[in-house]
Chain A
Amino acid sequence: MAETTARRPGRGLSWRQFRAILRKDIVMELRTKEMITSMGIYALLTMVVYQIALSQAGTAFDPRTIAAGLLWLAFVFTSMLGLNRSLVHEKDQGCLEALLLSPVDRPVIFFAKAIGNMIFLLIVQVLTIPVFAFLFLQGSEYGGQLWMIPVALLGGAVGIAGVGTLLATMSVNTKGKDFVLAVLFIPLMYPLLLACVSATTAAVLGGDGHVQQFWSGMGLIAAYDAIMVLAAYALYEFVLGA
């Protein structure tokens, strides 16, 4: 904390550092297109697996009832892939070490990485939803209000990126890497995903009390995001220091 007060004169500095790290991630992605392609293709493959899972469900089955669950499932797996990549790059190319050597506040690193991850996740979400709707929801009616979906997506992405960045930073330094990430990530994500699925299902199905169900889900998402991202932010400094 003393550091931040000492640097008061250059108040815009943190902001510039934040933008620089974020820009680095985006420029790298624009050049290699590695994360978006791998996450996108992975999401597409997940759809194929869903088709296999639902192939015997019959015509009476209404896919809308599980649409939200399937979507969030796809996002969880793609986000794990993306998070892992995002920090493996940092580590393999020695970028994280260079960042730590440079006079950048640790919280700035956390927020820049987390926002970067969130942007990529949001892009994948926006690309996946039409494909999902095209493949599984043709002819189904959309029940709720359209603005509900992006709100729920954003709420979920904040939590996934915030906590995920912390966990991925730890898991890239372990022997198990992506396996360790999955073991730590999924139980911690459980409450968030449950609330996201509840809110998104309310939006997809509509009907009596769906607005209330949506907002109670969003309330829980907001609470989770606030508490867990704050905790991740507070603990990130220790992880970087180790």
Chain B
Amino acid sequence: MKQLRVALVMLVIGGLLTTVAFVMAFTTAEVQRFGTVTLSERIDTAFPLQEVTADGYRYERPWFSQKIFYFHVPVAEASFLVFGVAAFFAIRFLMTKRKEYDTKSRIAMETAIVFVTLTMITGILWTRAAWGVWWEWEPRLTTYFIMTLMMIGYFVLRNSIEDEERRAVYASVFGIIAFINAPISFFITRLIPSNHPVVFQSGFATSNLVPFILGQIGMLLVGYAIYSIRMNEERLEERVEIMKEALEG
């Protein structure tokens, strides 16, 4: 019960920090302006068309959509981290064959899927605002898509095995190999030209960095809280099962 209380406190703090970061992103953070961009055709966007030149249509580069950075990047980083945790527990399970590690690995994977979904949703919204398309086969997006598919595959695999021990071993094996595959996909997609922004290369004002860090810490706390609450639920379920058996016997 103590663990649950800690988790709930963390959830509240994490939620607060994320909210503060969100508010700061729109109030104190310095507005990032990116100049203009010339597109070959006219697009449907909220950003003002500046002029029509011989090269094409010159638009002011969207700066408002940049605000999603304070949410999208922390969520994405948290998703990688939690995926790593899931793979770590999978390795621990194969080493020890203790059931609790398998449960931990599964719960971490569930948490990762929550973050991956959030990243995908925010990312797609941003792509639409910034690039004028909903989807593009661009390295990061593609890698991320593949990662999502692997996570779905993990649960498909789990659901189609009845034997408990076998399920745990197979899921762990797949979790590990999927985690190895993710960075490889990332490097190999360099074969496709990219226009996903790399924000940290261009330097960062303090007024931008503070909400970002707050958002990042907040998101990690939320992630840990989700994981702990689910773990707690899992333990309770186990206890119920044991009690049921005891009563029946």
Contact = CB atoms under 8 A, between A and B. Distances in A.
Interface of A: 163, 166-167, 170, 173-176, 180, 183-184, 186-188, 190-191, 194-195, 198, 216-217, 220, 223-224, 227-228, 231-232, 235, 238-239, 241-242
Interface residues of B, number: 30
Nearest to B173: A235
Contacts of A231: 176-177, 180
B180 A228 contact: yes
Contacts, number: 94
B133 interface: no
A170 B188 contact: no
A174 B174 CA distance: 13
B187 A180 contact: no
Contacts of B160: 174-176, 180
A166 B170 CA distance: 10
Interface string B154-166: 0011001110011
Q: Which 3 A-B pairs have the closest CB atoms?
A: A242-B169, A191-B188, A176-B160
B184 A242 contact: no
Contacts of B170: 170, 173-174, 239, 242
A91 to B, nearest CB: 13
Given A176-B160, A190-B185, A198-B191, 8 more contacts: A174-B170, A183-B157, A184-B153, A190-B181, A191-B189, A235-B173, A242-B165, A242-B170
Interface of B: 94, 146, 149-150, 152-153, 156-157, 160-162, 165-166, 169-170, 172-174, 176-178, 180-181, 184-185, 187-189, 191-192
13 contacts: A166-B177, A170-B170, A175-B160, A175-B161, A188-B178, A191-B185, A195-B188, A220-B187, A227-B180, A227-B184, A228-B181, A238-B169, A239-B170
Contact of B191 (A176, A217, A235, A241): A217
Residue from A176, A187, A216 having most chain B Cβ neighbours under 10 A: A187
Contacts of A217: 191
